[in-house]
Structure 1
Amino acid sequence: MASHAVVFLVFDGIKHLDVAGPAEVFAEAARGGAAYELRYVSPDGRAVETSIGARLEVGGAASDIRHAHTVIIPGGDALPSAPIPQALRDATRMLVGTGDRIASICTGAFLLASVGALDGRRATTHWAHTALLARICPTADVLPDALFVQDRGLHTSAGVSSGIDLALALIEADHGADLARRVAQQLVVYMQRPGGQSQFSALLDVSRGTRDSVRRVIEAVSAHPAAPSSAADLARIAGVSTRHLTRLFLAEIGMTPAKYVEQVRVEIAKALLLRGETVAKTTVRAGFQNPETMRRAFVGLLGMPPSVYRQRFATTVRD
């Protein structure tokens, strides 16, 4: 079997699990018979220090790579918030040009965006940074709930551990579901994780409107989520017509007033459930009309009903 070169671009401050997680998946597949050959390169060929302070040796510089079957671009905490060093951008551009298949983990999508690789593509990144990625790369179609996205040979994944999900999907594409399943079983991870990344996110991390009318509605809903919230109620708070308020919300925070109210209530309900409140009490305190309404909101936004959310996230202890 011809070898399949998997090249990781690493750099100082790189998220350790962004490298270790996918690398272990590919290494396990190699132990199972796949001809994956892992290589690690840095912009200048020097060893790097990861996010946990571990020193990671490399086999050379990015410029040494003439061809790679798969290029993995991991993330780092500073990528969304600090200028990206030119040497790192140059290394990313070189590897994107030499790889048959490109994949980013978590905030590695920002490296791809910095060299134009996401232009006109569907993509994702960690839920906390999807809005920022969409702003800095307006031609990309950023999918905030996806664990990973594939678009014409370019793959992007959500936060940290979703790199494992993506690596399993790449192995399945290369060698079929049986090998991917054996790798998942050996590593004791999901073959396909249930739900999207919205189940882990803070839904209220939205840009606050700059107009007073929008801000008044946001503040009122946040302070009194169980208060009446029909279109007419919210328009009275804003001091504008219902139609105009909808236009303002869509323009300034990217959703309708009704959807914003629903997200506020789901966020409050999440917190109450994790504190041990019953579904019945949570329904009332969060402002839902009845448990079925809350269940539909949870399923629509998080992909699971309230009871499953509480079971999955309330504690690490199993009954």
Structure 2
Amino acid sequence: MQSTTRQIDLYIYDGVNILDVSGISEAFYAASTHDKTTYNLRYMSKDGSPIRAACGLKLCADIGLDDINLGGINNGQDLVLLGGAGMNGQMHYTPLLEVIKNWQISGQDKRLISVCSGALILAASGVLDGHIATTHWSRADEAAQLYPNVKWQTDSIYTIEGHLFTSAGVTAGIDLALAIIAKDCGTSVALLVARELVVSLRRSGGQTQYSDILKAQYSTQNSLEALLELIVAQPDKDWTLDCMAEIAGMTSRTLSRKFRQQLDCSPVLYVEKIRVSHASNLLSFGRNMNKVAKQSGFGNLQRMQRSFERQIGISPTAYCKKFSEANQ
């Protein structure tokens, strides 16, 4: 198999989020060690000078905007726009916006990628008009107000439409990178990269920015904290309503009320969500479906199938096919 190379240019600036830079970069680098496709990473600043990330870390640039040669790469060239505290100034930097516009029209194999609030830079250039996109949840209202012609899907962790790729906050950039790697190199390579980066699950683009576990951590008070931690740690336990109420030290009625107030669901539904999350994680790594059903607390495959269809709209079989280690 003949090796191919994609050029990936990441635009860095004073105040960039270092995790936006490092997360997606490490994913592409790891993919290059597992496949014939090589990602050549370059870091680009306004004029090629070093920049200082929001956390204070100084980063060196390989090139400046003027060094970009849009027509000189035969095997594909991608531009990555990153988020960070200094992003607002980049939204109005005309030379950068011109590069983005020219990138879009310079060839069919030129992709535009954004991580976190970097999507607002793409939007400022006009290339997202009429297209779907996402960004960090904290910028959702601002994005919709400033760029109403963009079809914002800010509940999604990433979006892909043609040559336009956008992702939500920080770690969602890794999810998007894995989706791109799967497209370029095959699903098996993407899964190898996920394991190397200790990413437990490659999330689909339509998945919400808020997981059920994260929502619980931010929404609940101490009265439910211990119970929620136990449910996550032991999804295979027989979590009846009475059992949960006893652990929480309250009546079943009070427990149900607190769940609805703080998590907007019943205790039983929350357990189902956690079990589906646990099972989908195991299935994405090729575990046996019957064993996963038992380990996740469903008891049998039929119950797991019904829960999957209720929670994520597909069967465990379809989910396994999606995350198969075979190249697709």
TM range (shorter): 0.5 to 0.7
Q: TM-score, normalised by structure 2?
A: 0.63
Structure 1 unmatched runs, 5+: 204-265, 310-319
1:159 aligns with 2:169: yes
Equivalent residues, number: 242
Partner of 2:62: 59
1:28/1:183 contact within 8 Å kept: yes
Q: Please, which moves more after superposition, 96-105 or 20-29?
A: 96-105
In 2 relative to 1, CA 63–50 (structure 1 residues): closer, same or farther, beyond 3 Å?
A: same
Q: In the aligned structure 1, how far is the partner of 2:126 from the partner of 2:212?
A: 29
Shift of 1:50: 0.8
- 2:137 and 2:155 in contact (8 A); partners too: yes
1:82–1:6 Cα change, 3 Å: closer
> What is the aligned partner in structure 2 of residue 37 from structure 1?
40
SS of 2:87's partner is coil
2:209 to 194, 197, 207: 197
- Letter of the structure 2 residue corresponding to residue 199 of structure 1: S
User: Which secondary structure does the structure 2 equivalent of 1:36 belong to?
Assistant: strand
1:304 corresponding residue in structure 2: 273
C-alpha separation in 1, matches of 2:93 and 2:4: 35
Higher mean C-alpha displacement, 107-116 vs 85-94: 85-94
Contact 1:295 1:306 in 2 (8 A): no
Shift of 1:275: 3.7
Letter of the 1:304 partner, please give it. K
CA RMSD of aligned residues (A): 3.5
Moved more, 71-80 or 93-102: 93-102
Match of 2:25 in 1: 23
Deviations 1:166-205 (A, max 9, x none): 01110100011011111111111134137420338999xx
- Distance change (3 Å), C-alpha of 1:104 and 1:62: same
Deviation string, structure 1 residues 72-107 (Cα, Å, up to 9, x no partner): 111112436996444544454455555711110000
Alpha-carbon distance between aligned partners in 1 of 2:258 and 2:13, rounded to the nearest angstrom: 47
SS of the equivalent of 1:197 reads coil
Whether 2:73 is the aligned partner of 1:70: answer no
Letter in 1 for 2:79: V
Q: Secondary structure at the match of 2:160?
A: strand
CA distance, structure 2, for counterparts of residue 269 and residue 41 of structure 1: 40
Pairing of 1:77-92 with structure 2 (within 5 A) = 77-79=85-87, 84-92=92-100
The code of the aligned residue for 2:163 comes to G
1:10-52 CA-partner distances (Å, limit 9, x unpaired): 1111110111001001111111232111111112211111121
Shift of 1:282: 4.3
Identity of aligned residues (%): 28
Which residue pairs with 2:10 in the alignment? Answer: 8
In structure 2, C-alpha distance between the alignment counterparts of 1:83 and 1:2, rounded to whole Å: 33
Q: Kindly provide the amino acid, as one letter, of the partner of residue 124 in structure 2.
A: S
Cα drift, residue 140 of structure 1: 1.4
Q: Is 1:128–1:201's contact at 8 Å kept on the other side of the alignment?
A: no
1:171 paired with 2:174, answer no
Map 1:143-154 → 2, pairs under 5 A: 143-154=153-164
Shift of 1:165: 0.5
**Structure 1 residues 200-242: Cα deviation after superposition (integer angstroms, max 9, x where no partner):** 8999xxxxxxxxxxxxxxxxxxxxxxxxxxxxxxxxxxxxxxx
* Separation in structure 2 between the aligned mates of residue 268 and residue 159 of structure 1, nearest angstrom: 17
Shift of 1:285: 3.8
CA spacing shift, 1:35–1:162, aligned 2, 3 Å: same
